[in-house]
Amino acid sequence: MLFLWLYMFYSCAGSCAGQAARGSPAPPRAAPPLPPLLPGEPGEESSLEEQRAAPDAGSPISSFFNGSGTKRLPQAIIIGVKKGGTRALLEFLRVHPDVRAVGAEPHFFDRNYERGLAWYRDLMPKTLEGQITMEKTPSYFVTKEAPARISSMSKGTKLIVVVRDPVTRAISDYTQTLSKKPDIPTFESLTFKNRTTGLIDTSWSAIQIGIYAKHLENWLLYFPIGQILFVSGERLISDPAGELGRVQDFLGLKRIITDKHFYFNKTKGFPCLKKAEGSSKPHCLGKTKGRTHPDIDQEVVQRLRNFYRPFNMKFYQMTGQDFGWD
């Protein structure tokens, strides 16, 4: 059918133009519709404005396929956590032909909720029957209002949380901020309300995010534990295919993403894709990923480990998984 359609298209292109030249002038063409929202480039946090401004491919074939499908609200959301490995997971998942995802973080359920579900749906890529629409916004996990809002959209939404050793996560979080604001105080000084007494400052977001058990309690008021998948950020590095296998099973997808899709980049220290979505070239996450952490006082690191230990133990009990952080 496609070849027949193309034959008719190109046959008409010449003959119809000739008839128009001999007869009355052709009516003016209507303005082309606005291009559909495009996902961001792999590994980049493109803004929603940049996505809307991105041009469509101009060929008849690409236009034919880009016009297919329907924009749907997401059936699955990666809700957290920041600096846990959410970008890596999303880029790995986008290799699957039955996953369509927004490239940028919509921040709908935390920052843009007043814009409404119609606005949110319009951000989503078009999907065909059987495909899953996804998005990821790591700050949802620590946003108090997010669970009720997502439940209100759909109680059946599948949720994915990528977690990582909370001490390492906090240092990674600080490293990211340091790269943007080199004059911020030291990690050690921000960690404590009073270093002499060893009182940890839980109001600092880098510390607060890692109290996973506390945040999970809020989600369990609206979603059963079986509707939330917990992905190990450490195993996502050491065994990406294994973790992706669990994710594909959770989403009800055929296990298409396997070992053959990955290679380990020794320079960056994490796995990369042999072929990214829509490309035949190898792809690693951008330079903002895998930053070298600053040296942190080991006494401070140990105090943080002692602080997180009871919360980690509770989190293991709640999820039924031992992540091996202690």
pLDDT tens-digit profile, the chain (326 residues): 444 444 444 444 444 444 433 443 444 334 333 333 333 333 333 334 333 333 333 333 333 345 689 999 999 999 999 999 999 999 999 999 999 999 899 999 999 999 999 999 999 999 999 999 999 999 999 999 999 999 999 999 999 999 999 999 999 999 999 999 999 999 999 999 988 888 999 999 999 999 999 999 999 999 999 999 999 999 999 999 999 999 999 999 999 999 898 878 776 667 898 865 555 566 676 555 556 878 999 999 999 999 999 999 999 999 999 999 98
- The length of the chain is 326
The Cα–Cα gap between 193 and 173 comes to 19
Residues making up the binding site: 83-87, 164, 172, 289-293
The angle subtended at Cα 104 by Cα 88 and Cα 289, nearest 5°, is 35
Residues belonging to the active site: 83
Domains of the chain and CATH, by start: 70-319 (3.40.50.300)
The Cα–Cα gap between 46 and 39 comes to 8
The Cα–Cα gap between 91 and 274 comes to 12
Dihedral (CA of 39, 45, 49, 54) sign: negative
Residues making up the binding site for 3'-phosphoadenylyl sulfate: 83-87, 164, 172, 289-293
The Cα–Cα gap between 219 and 225 comes to 9
Q: What single-letter DSSP state applies at residue 313? A: H
The Cα–Cα gap between 142 and 215 comes to 6
Nearest to 77 by CA among 139, 169, 165: 139
Distances (CA, A) of 258 to 158, 159, 161, 163, 217: 22, 22, 21, 21, 33
Beta-strand runs (E) in the chain: 70-71, 76-80, 99-101, 126-127, 132-136, 158-163, 192-194, 199-200, 228-232, 262-265, 270-273
